[in-house]
Amino acid sequence: MNWNEDNIEIFIRENKDQFSKYDPSTYHDNIFLKKLYKRFKKFISIVPYLVKVFIVTVIVFTISIWSWNNYLRKDRHEITLKQKIENIIHFKK
């Protein structure tokens, strides 16, 4: 017999009395939970994902600061304060 959703439903409806008579053992819950624990005993950690997000964030931040400083800044062709100080020191010599 091919088991699909309809067949299972029909089977359960026809054998409803047998299902209601069955009394699971007192330790059935414990056995089930142990099996479930064995199946999912790995703890899912989000730390690797957080590290990846952190790395990507640092890279994007660095690239954006670099591109702003080199291409988007309005005063990038003007003399900076550091250059002015160097010019003053150089001319005093």
Please give the Cα distance from 29 to 18 (Å, whole number). Answer: 20
Q: Which pair of structure tokens corresponds to residue 39?
A: 């199946």
Q: How far apart are CA 73 and CA 29, in angstroms?
A: 67
Residue 76 near residue 69, CB atoms below 8 Å: yes
The amino acid present at 89, given as its one-letter code, is I
Residue 14 has what pLDDT? Answer: 87
DSSP label of 15: T
Q: Considering the entire predicted model, what is its pTM?
A: 0.42
Structure confidence at residue 89 (pLDDT): 85
Q: What is the mean pLDDT of each run of 10 residues along the chain (93 residues)?
A: 81 81 76 82 83 98 91 77 84 73
Tokens of residue 62, six digits? 């660095």
Helix (H, G, I), strand (E, B) or coil at 74: coil
Q: Report the pLDDT value the prediction gives residue 59, as an integer from 0 to 100.
A: 98
User: Quick one: pLDDT at residue 1?
Assistant: 63
Alpha-carbon Rg for the chain in angstroms: 36
